[in-house]
Amino acid sequence: MDKVSIVKCESYGKEKVFLAVKQALSLIGFRMPKSGAKILLKPNLLGAFPLENAVTTHPAVVEACCRIFKGYKLYVGDSCGAGERKGTENAFKESGIAAVAKKYNATFINIDAEKKITIENKKNKVLKKLVTAAPVLNMDFIVNLPKIKTHMLTGYTGAMKNMFGIMPGRSKTGAHAIGRKIEQFNQIVVDIYNAVTPNLNIMDGIVGMDGNGPSNGNPKHTGIIAASVNGAAMDAVITQAIGFKKGDVGTVEVARKRKLFDNIQVFGLKDFRCNYKKPHTYKSKLTGIVFSRINRLISPRFVADKKKCIKCGYCIRACPMNCIKFVNGYPKFDSKNCISCYCCEEVCPEHAVSRQLPLFAKLFDMLRGRD
């Protein structure tokens, strides 16, 4: 039986979050790891975004975990969406998590700056080999700290997708290049989770993000903390709690077919519901022959707002297909080779990258009655 707990937590007050996390762990019967264990806290550090944007895991959740696991050898690590050493450092500081780590003597692991190791998992379906940082594999216990958010590519990003951050730098963009079709990319997300499976998952659901997540959506007050030893089971529960129907989220369905969860039992707020506005791309997800024939007509064209663009080049370096270049000082997008992975939009610190829908797509949306 896979246990998932959902408890109420209306604000990021430190004591409230600490008690909520303790309650969530108690409800699933969580047992502490062995004494002296090296514990990695893996938050969502997509980029150096202001805390109020609800893009990254809140530092109050990280601090609650530091308090709970006090006495262990604590580490906090991630690789930001841009997959750059400096970008990850900036995200660590901007999120407020750097201050928490310092307070509790937790060592920061910048996955983009550490020695790289290639691991192989023959059970994986698409990504048989993946690259991660050596310290990740040296941990005794991994606590995954995702945030509830919608996602332009996968519909939803949660526990399984958060483990994508164990891959450094261009390894992430390489995974996008391999998983050009959404069906393949969903398999890759589960492959990564399956290769480096966290021992515990604690989800920041106090303020999530709906709409065009994972970075350009809207903060959504949700008021919960969730916990589970099984991240796939957690995602199955949370996706339905925020309004997705069974079968809607590809990563969850891949995990279901691989039998990564079964017989889920929810503790605490068993009937919790909070409807999330879906990403702009959500209703236009088509598969098979129909998708391959009209996808080019309905896919958005990416553009850079020259008034917002600071010419940092994050979008260019994040593109798995190398189809963004500086032209006359600003990013120019090659729509022909674009695979609509949304990496460029995700990593832009100024929200300067946006999508322009072709006329056919606008008509298509009207016919389908999109919100």
Task: Decide which of 290 and 101 is more confident.
Answer: 101
275 lies in a domain?
no
Q: Are residues 318 and 260 in the same domain?
A: no
Which of 268, 297, 328 terminates a domain? The answer is: 268
pLDDT value of residue 169:
84
Task: Decide which of 368 and 54 is more confident.
Answer: 54
3-state secondary structure the chain: CEEEEEEECCCCCHHHHHHHHHHHHHHCCCCCCCCCCEEEEEECCCCCCCHHHCCCCCHHHHHHHHHHCECEEEEEEECCCCCCHHHHHHHHHHCCHHHHHHHCCCEEEECCCCCEEEEECCCCCCCCEEEEEHHHHCCCEEEEECEEEEECCCEEECHHHHHHHHCCHHHHHHHHHHCCCHHHHHHHHHHHHHHCCCCEEEEEEEEEEECCCCCCCEEEEEEEEEEECCHHHHHHHHHHHCCCCCCCCHHHHHHHHCCCCCCEEEEECCCCCCCCCCCCCHHHCCCHHHHHHHHHHHCCEEEECCCCCCCCCHHHHHCCCCCEEEECCEEEECCCCCCCCCHHHHHCCCCCEEEECCHHHHHHHHHHCCC
What is the mean pLDDT of the segment spanning 261-282?
A: 94
The 10s digit of each residue's pLDDT in 156-174 is 999 999 999 999 988 999 9
Is cis: bond before 214, omega within 30 of 0? yes
Q: Work out how many domains the chain is built from and give that number.
A: 2
Instruction: Decide if pLDDT at 41 tops 50.
Output: yes
What is the mean pLDDT of the segment spanning 216-223?
A: 97
Q: Are residues 264 and 326 in the same domain?
A: no
Structural domain boundaries, residue 315: 282-368
277 lies in a domain?
no
Give 281's pLDDT tier (boundaries 50, 70, 90).
confident
pTM for the full model? 0.91
What is the mean pLDDT of the segment spanning 65-78?
A: 98
The 10s digit of each residue's pLDDT in 241-259 is 999 999 999 999 999 999 9
Q: Are residues 128 and 53 in the same domain?
A: yes
